[in-house]
A and B are shown apart, each in its own frame.
Chain A
Amino acid sequence: MDYIMAFIIGGFICLIGQILIDTTKLMPAHVLVIFIVLGVLLSSIGLYQPLVDIGKAGAIIPLTGFGHTLVTGVIEDTDKYGLLGVFTGALGASAAGITSAVVFGYIMAVIFNPKSK
């Protein structure tokens, strides 16, 4: 059941992205930025958590889920540490994702070369 819901919710979020790319002049980079901000906004008004409850990985893996992680972290840390938490929350919660992206990214870039097209 988890798998089916992850497939449907995740697929649906990507579908929205595709419609944005095809029908507007937005580049994929714009779409990524829009999606993370969208995730932040939806999460901050409490609309994203239900999506995570239903879709599980289907809502976490898309970049909107990354936005959700940032907001959850900020809120938690603000509750714990007050104003300081506003500064530490987002990066704290997303540390695993960002650090792995930088480190794995660097390693892959050093090991591999782009292929001829």
Chain B
Amino acid sequence: MVKKLTKEQQDFQQYINKKKPKPPYIKNAFFAFLVGGFICTIGQFILNFYISLGLTFKEAGAPTSATMVFIGALLTGLGIYDDIGKIAGAGSVVPITGFANSIVSPAMEFKREGYVFGVAAKMFVVAGPVLVYGLTSSFIVGLIYYLFKL
């Protein structure tokens, strides 16, 4: 925090926190579970499809992710994904389709600022941090693993 709040401000914040309506926890949790589960079930369907083409379970993971990303990107482009998100919350944020949504939505929105500084640069406003932390943490894990193996 930048500055410590005064006593008066703290009291007001306490009072305000009582006034603010809480999000509908149960309803939100229910829909997050339902939609999140549903998206994963579709994922399972696609995974089984790739396995039926002769891939092993482990090999089928990558094309499944790519297909789900495509679906997420397409639904974002069609303007449907944000409507799902309004109901599902984390249920549509956490699956990899939500990752695709976080890439397409800013890219599309900033098209008017050009294809370099708009679309391409804004693509990673949300996805960038995810990759940075994902890659860095897995790098550290790999490094530790390598050092212990020596």
Contacts and interface: CB of A to CB of B under 8 A. Distances in A.
Task: Please classify the interface of chain B as helix (H, G, I), strand (E, B), loop, or mixed, using the class held by over half of its residues.
Answer: helix
Interface in A45-85: 55-58, 60-67, 69-71, 73-75, 77-78, 82-83, 85
How extensive is the interface on chain B, given as a class? 35 or more
B25 A109 contact: no
Contact of A36 (B47, B62, B100, B133): B133
A18 B89 contact: yes
Contacts of A97: 62, 65-66, 69, 96
Contact of A114 (B108, B123, B131, B139): B108
> Taking each of A14, A44, A90, A108, which has the highest tally of chain B beta carbons within 10 Å of its own beta carbon?
A14
Interface of A: 2-3, 6-23, 28-29, 31-33, 35-37, 39-41, 43-44, 55-58, 60-67, 69-71, 73-75, 77-78, 82-83, 85-87, 89-91, 93-102, 104-115
